Amino acid sequence: MRKGKGGSKVGGARAGVEVNVDGNGEANLDSGSGFLDHMLQALARMSKIDISAKAEGGIAVERSRALGLALGGALAAGLGEKRGIRRYGWAAVPMDEALGEVALDLSGRPYLVMKSEFETEIIGDLESQNVRRILEALTEEGLFTLHVRFDGENDHHKAESIFKALGLAFKEAKRVEGTEILSTKGVL
């Protein structure tokens, strides 16, 4: 089993995360935001990655970044040297009127491209700008490239389609298909 732990401190916030990359999609979450917990539950379920996460202290933006960094670090640790993984994953998830599209490369190079914007400042109890902050932090410590596009009318549906698509893309990219490292350089 591929397992990893990650921790982070940002300002007055701190977060700790444990993952089982080969899990069943179970989640035990306490991010301080019911909406963010809902999004991470969707990510866990779709990716089949077990996630246990807690963030506390500081202000919401600090907790979001700390949680993203800790989750990224835990995923990177769980994936290890990435021997035999498929490496690439992509998915599109429709949710009523919304569509979220994600493509990722577990390349060892952090980069986020995020197209589109949310219409409202708050989604549930989460500032919509924190969705981007979480994804930026996740790619930074997770060491992967992530492209996100979304469209729709309902910001809740847009955000949820992103996290579900991200989960499905991870499920594809983490799949072990051999023993080699899928890179011309021999390292990811």
Q: For residue 183, what pLDDT is reported?
A: 81
Instruction: Give CA–CA dist 166/152, Å, rounded.
Output: 17
- What pTM did the predictor assign? 0.96
Residue 186 predicted with pLDDT over 80: no
Q: For residue 171, what pLDDT is reported?
A: 98
Q: pLDDT tens, 17-65?
A: 999 999 999 999 999 999 999 999 999 999 999 999 999 999 999 999 9
Domain positions in the chain are 3-173
Mean pLDDT of 108-130: 96
CATH code given to domain 3-173: 3.30.230.40
Helix (H) or strand (E) holding 172: helix 155-173
